[in-house]
Structure 1
Amino acid sequence: MIKSLHRQTLEVKRKLGTFLISKNICYGLHGYTTSAPNNFHDYESLKKLYNPEVPKYFNFAKDVLDTWTEREKSGKKYPNPAFWWVNDRDDEVKWSFEEIGHHARKVANVLCGPCNLQKGDRVLLILPRIPEWWLVNVACMRTGTVLIPGTSQLTAKDILHRLHTSKAKCVITDDSMAPALDSVAPKCSFLKAKVLVSQHNRHGWMNLGELSRMVSSDHECVDTKSNEPMTIFFTSGTTGTPKMTEHSHCSFGIGLTVNGRYWLDLTERDVLWNTSDTGWAKSAWSSVFAPWIQGACVFVHHMPRFQTTTVLKTLSHYPVSTFCTAPTAYRMLVQEDLSRYQFQNLKHCLSAGEPINPEVMGKWKTYTGLDIYEGYGQTETVLIAGTFKGMKIKAGSFGKPSPAYDVQVVDDAGEVVSSGTEGNLAIRVKPQRPFSLFTGYTDDPERTAQCFRGDFYLTGDRGVMDEEGYLWFVGRSDDVILSAGYRIGPFEVENALIEHAAVAESAVVSSPDPVRGEVVKAFVVLTPAYKSKDRDQLTIELQKHVKKVTAPYKYPRKIEFVEQLPKTVSGKIRRVELRNKEWGRH
């Protein structure tokens, strides 16, 4: 399908002179436009400026994307395409908003026609970073079908779980995942349509490219209420069975204004490259909603695997102004000789997914001159907290609460604790629940109810708020280690370990101890240069190192050297697996 899209694609440059106005409703900052830099005098001003309206009906494809299209048709000239896709073979796709709409309307007609889907039906989408992924996203919005993204790293067992849990009536994937789907499809009688994105046909599958060429590009977007379901993300399963996290049309479609306007600091002149996998909420955050709300260009490099040299060359050769990636990626990038590259267009770097090491932030700034602005959020939310442009950066802190939420640190009873006191990171939901919070865990009211305590939604993370309102991550609620009366967050120990040249990666969990109840244990992956070193001597050296870097009581009394760490399909370390192993749980 990509080749046919190449032939149809025209390069249209665009520039939007307004922030986000659809009809007479402004979704965002009243009276502010993207033609001016997003400069704020102080944090309190930033909070006061955020005042989005939520209408009764809202559909991102209609109220945002179609509005940009109309402005393009009015003769506006724009500096960048709305969507810019490249790969390692020098293939390239550039779409204007008008072209995105043209192709997405065709896909919408495929969903409504050959696939026979109705509003509210669920669609499981498993595709890598190819243009069709974005078209299906928009097509699902247009048809009112509920999108369920999944990563291409899912196994057949994972797919079967997602299908059975969601009762999805349609699945869309490519050649690489089709065999896994075929192996489980006979167990899913509710599955009505299997759609393949491929240059080839497969028995029992409809071909998206062929069908798209046959259908009309005329499609009337359905009316969707703001609170109707738009998408479902399965959580990463870091601490248990993945849950279906449901978001409405407004929670992401309007709520992610706070990400694009404040944290990503985007204008219509920016080109944003977010490296997140297409199966996770961060891809919706920064590869769909936040940039297109701001009229910015979504840049995509189709990398089957994260390759540092490819990333650095891409940042050098393309006009990427805003770069967002995971802490693990930055750790890999700073190991390269960054002096060989020049990032002439890069001006804003961000990190999310899990806390980033201050040492990595320092190295990145030394080589590039750019700070890394950390953000914190969840599948269940938009940006919860972040370091925004103009704010002082405190290494190790992920910043202050975003304007979208009243974020507090509370005890187990839901009472706000004093500054400097560790507690549960929480979002106030009473007397008024934020519209940008997830609707709930689909078909799981019990686990949904467990997230709320008193007036707050509990994130499941532990943290501290200092006297200036900065938030500091301690760890997941069930990752915190209680040893001889001390509460120890794994991240701080991992942070100390990563500073040692021997450590490529580490995971810290509790381990049983007859005297202390539990102690800190570190699972360590060694760098190549240290793999042949004496392990007993390395253990002592690493323990001494941690004692110097952080509070002595936090050092790992046990260290086990491993070849790799167990991770979720999104790349997050599954400490729960290591912890269960230590405690003999199954």
Structure 2
Amino acid sequence: MITELKPEEGIAGKFVKTAFDENGVLSKIEFTNDETFNFAFDVVDALAEKTPDKTALIYVSRDKEEKKFTFKEIKECSNMAANYYKSLGIKKGDRVLLVLKRHYQFWFTILALHKIGAVAIPATNILKVEDYRYRIEAANVKAVVCTADDKIPDAMAAIDPDDKVIKVIVNGEREHFHPFDKDILSFSKEFARPTGEDTVYAHDTMIIMFTSGTTKHPKMVAHNHLYALGHYITARYWHNVKTDGIHFTVSDTGWGKALWGKLYGQWLCETCIFVYDFDVFSADNIMKLVEQYKITTFCAPPTLYRILVKMDLSKYDLSALTYCTTAGEALNPEVFYKFKEMTGFTIFEGFGQTETTLAIGNLKNTTPRPGSMGKASPLYDVHIMRPDGTLADVDETGEIVIKIADGEPYGLFSTYNNDEKMTKEVKHDGYYHMGDTAYMDKDGYFWFVGRVDDIIKVAGYRVGPFEIENEIMKIPYVLECAVTAIPDGTRGQAIKATIVLTEGTVGDDNLKKELKRYFKENMASYKRPRVIEFVDEMPKTISGKVRRVEIKEKDWK
């Protein structure tokens, strides 16, 4: 028996209706009043009117300095930022690259861009110069807003010495960069919703996220403004956030996971977001903050849980904590059991992509099965498909697909920007093809098997072999190379480089050390191969393509 559709409570009720089964599990969701939906105006600003003094964001710097922002302050600061960016010439449709780590200015900026109708392009601070150059050129970026940390301004200046790109710096000052923190103070706290030709519509592009592929540069995943609504389930029925709670998702703002856990769904649910702007990862620091700030709901990648179960968690007061979730890669059943044994908490796993919101998950009021991703979200019509395009039977492995023949669900990406061919390769014949393989049991639980392609997941990061191989092939004595995943007890997977050297080059330990020095200097940390193997020749197909699958099979035995 399914209840009738009713509006959700609070601000979300204007846009979201839900129904439930006899066990109180979400079974259906619909959206309303969404033609011109804009998260910044319709949610954040509405909350500033409804509960102006409610804490929206708790920010803790790397030095443990605290700042708190109410919804009223978030509204005012995002309005000031919107006026500021407009004064710099940023307008509707312009692309703006954001490299802001976990700085609180990220929230002011992304909301300001939503209000203007500009397109936000988040990026992590651990990329290299060439990574940023590719993003700026491929996305036709008009402006960059970046941290003063980690030599990011040096990278931006090197890419754009002629100042063709508007450059804004946060938490510092530098020649040829506009100082955000200083300049914003002179702008109005009022910003009217654009009208006429500047009207921002729900189907306009809001966000572009870069994601990796196996044989190409990172893809540009474009989402419209309805993407924010698609994350309502993520926060309310997976993270299980409460209006009087504090939610902490461990993620840098340059990764899609930040949009899952540090913005849209959480504020749709009117909860407080907790942010720790650390530079050096420390599980001990994170757990101390969970205790100190009385975090109620917590989401982290499996990598962190693998570390936590090897720690003495009894020394932390977790009495305020009520719910734990994970995503990014498959959670090992032994970690699930050990964490529950140590803390009493069940870890509710979820699954999705940069291209989606939560597609499969263990939602509120369900019973997780360790090792399973959970059941399909009511937002998505999820199936398992055979290679021939027919739907698989129960317990039969195939590709995970989402039916789109009757319309595309909110939260599913619009297109791969500037790549209609690639878009059609994954959206065709009435389905979106996720590129991951799994099987579904008789009760509707999905069990992850692996990638259709060769994407590597390292500690929650998605890495494409092609971009790493391109860098390795720049080394003069490398004749051929193949990058694959190998098992790693902590990170889930690590990266291996299999290399064929040029004639006369000796592949010894000294050369491996030299290669690792090169990787450190030229690759983001999560892209660096941890294992190097020299071989005389690569396994190849008849057509001459490297058979990465054969390398992987040997390493995963």
Q: 1:156 to 1:573 in 2, by over 3 A?
A: closer
Instruction: Report the identity percentage.
Output: 32
Q: Is the 8 A contact 1:507 1:565 kept in 2?
A: no
Aligned to 1:46: 26
Q: Is the 8 A contact 2:8 2:17 kept in 1?
A: no
Counterpart-to-counterpart distance in 1, 2:292 and 2:243: 20
Measured after TM superposition, the shift of residue 87 of structure 1 is 2.6
Q: Is the 8 A contact 1:175 1:196 kept in 2?
A: yes
Where in structure 2 are the equivalents of 1:302-317 lying within 5 Å?
302-317=277-292
Say whether 1:413 aligns with 2:383. Answer: no
Counterpart-to-counterpart distance in 2, 1:329 and 1:450: 34
Measured after TM superposition, the shift of residue 478 of structure 1 is 2.2
Measured after TM superposition, the shift of residue 106 of structure 1 is 0.7
Q: Is the 8 A contact 1:238 1:575 kept in 2?
A: no
Where in structure 2 are the equivalents of 1:108-147 lying within 5 Å?
108-113=82-87, 115-147=88-120
Where in structure 2 are the equivalents of 1:456-475 lying within 5 Å?
456-475=431-450
Aligned to 2:355: 380
Measured after TM superposition, the shift of residue 84 of structure 1 is 0.5
Aligned to 1:275: 250
Aligned to 1:476: 451
Q: 1:112 to 1:346 in 2, by over 3 A?
A: same
Aligned to 2:466: none
Q: 1:21 to 1:429 in 2, by over 3 A?
A: same
Measured after TM superposition, the shift of residue 426 of structure 1 is 0.5
Where in structure 2 are the equivalents of 1:68-107 lying within 5 Å?
68-73=47-52, 78=54, 81-107=55-81
Q: 1:320 to 1:480 in 2, by over 3 A?
A: closer
Q: Is the 8 A contact 1:428 1:456 kept in 2?
A: yes
Measured after TM superposition, the shift of residue 150 of structure 1 is 0.5
Say whether 1:337 aligns with 2:327. Answer: no
- Which of 19, 22, 26 is matched with 2:9 structurally? 19
Counterpart-to-counterpart distance in 1, 2:492 and 2:300: 17
Q: Is the 8 A contact 1:414 1:453 kept in 2?
A: no
Q: TM-score, normalised by structure 2?
A: 0.80
Q: TM-score, normalised by structure 1?
A: 0.76
Q: Is the 8 A contact 1:409 1:424 kept in 2?
A: yes
Counterpart-to-counterpart distance in 2, 1:370 and 1:238: 37
Range that drifts further, 330-339 or 59-68 = 330-339
Counterpart-to-counterpart distance in 1, 2:338 and 2:523: 27
Q: Is the 8 A contact 2:379 2:409 kept in 1?
A: yes
Counterpart-to-counterpart distance in 2, 1:368 and 1:20: 32
Q: Is the 8 A contact 1:414 1:456 kept in 2?
A: no
Where in structure 2 are the equivalents of 1:144-163 lying within 5 Å?
144-163=117-136
- Which of 157, 172, 176 is matched with 1:204 structurally? 176
* Residue type of the alignment partner of 2:282: Q
Name the SS for the 1:82 alignment partner.
Answer: strand
Measured after TM superposition, the shift of residue 27 of structure 1 is 1.5
Q: Is the 8 A contact 2:221 2:355 kept in 1?
A: yes
Q: 1:283 to 1:412 in 2, by over 3 A?
A: same
Counterpart-to-counterpart distance in 2, 1:579 and 1:169: 43
Name the SS for the 1:254 alignment partner.
Answer: helix
Aligned to 2:211: 235
Q: 1:504 to 1:349 in 2, by over 3 A?
A: closer
Name the SS for the 2:31 alignment partner.
Answer: coil
Q: 1:104 to 1:480 in 2, by over 3 A?
A: closer
Deviation sequence 1:197-250 (CA, Å, 0-9, x none)? 124x21111100111111111211323111000010001456642111000011
Counterpart-to-counterpart distance in 2, 1:579 and 1:229: 45
Measured after TM superposition, the shift of residue 52 of structure 1 is 1.9
Measured after TM superposition, the shift of residue 565 of structure 1 is 11
Q: 1:511 to 1:107 in 2, by over 3 A?
A: closer
Say whether 1:67 aligns with 2:46. Answer: yes
Q: Is the 8 A contact 2:235 2:265 kept in 1?
A: yes
Counterpart-to-counterpart distance in 2, 1:294 and 1:443: 34
Deviation sequence 1:517-553 (CA, Å, 0-9, x none)? xxxxxxxxxxxxxxxxxxxxxxxxxxxxxxxxxxxxx
Aligned to 1:225: 201
Counterpart-to-counterpart distance in 2, 1:360 and 1:91: 33
Counterpart-to-counterpart distance in 2, 1:294 and 1:568: 39
Measured after TM superposition, the shift of residue 41 of structure 1 is 4.1
Q: 1:582 to 1:332 in 2, by over 3 A?
A: farther
Counterpart-to-counterpart distance in 2, 1:479 and 1:147: 28
Name the SS for the 1:103 alignment partner.
Answer: helix
CA RMSD between the two structures: 3.3
* Residue type of the alignment partner of 2:67: V
Where in structure 2 are the equivalents of 1:493-508 lying within 5 Å?
498=489, 506-507=493-494
Q: 1:390 to 1:577 in 2, by over 3 A?
A: farther
Measured after TM superposition, the shift of residue 263 of structure 1 is 0.8
Counterpart-to-counterpart distance in 1, 2:534 and 2:449: 17
Say whether 1:359 aligns with 2:359. Answer: no
Q: 1:129 to 1:506 in 2, by over 3 A?
A: closer
Say whether 1:260 aligns with 2:260. Answer: no
Deviation sequence 1:368-419 (CA, Å, 0-9, x none)? 1101110100000111100112212111111000111000000123321101
* Residue type of the alignment partner of 1:340: K
Q: 1:234 to 1:58 in 2, by over 3 A?
A: same
Measured after TM superposition, the shift of residue 138 of structure 1 is 0.7
Measured after TM superposition, the shift of residue 572 of structure 1 is 7.7
Counterpart-to-counterpart distance in 2, 1:450 and 1:354: 24
Q: 1:282 to 1:510 in 2, by over 3 A?
A: same
* Residue type of the alignment partner of 1:477: V
Aligned to 1:58: 37
Q: 1:111 to 1:510 in 2, by over 3 A?
A: closer
Deviation sequence 1:242-270 (CA, Å, 0-9, x none)? 111000011x2211112112111122012
* Residue type of the alignment partner of 2:186: M
Name the SS for the 1:403 alignment partner.
Answer: coil
Q: 1:247 to 1:291 in 2, by over 3 A?
A: same
Counterpart-to-counterpart distance in 2, 1:458 and 1:574: 29
Aligned to 2:345: 370
- Which of 322, 347, 351 is matched with 1:347 structurally? 322
Measured after TM superposition, the shift of residue 575 of structure 1 is 11
Counterpart-to-counterpart distance in 2, 1:378 and 1:568: 23
**Aligned length, in residue pairs:** 484
Deviation sequence 1:304-350 (CA, Å, 0-9, x none)? 12211101111121110111111111112222221222211111111
Measured after TM superposition, the shift of residue 568 of structure 1 is 8.7
Measured after TM superposition, the shift of residue 511 of structure 1 is 9.2
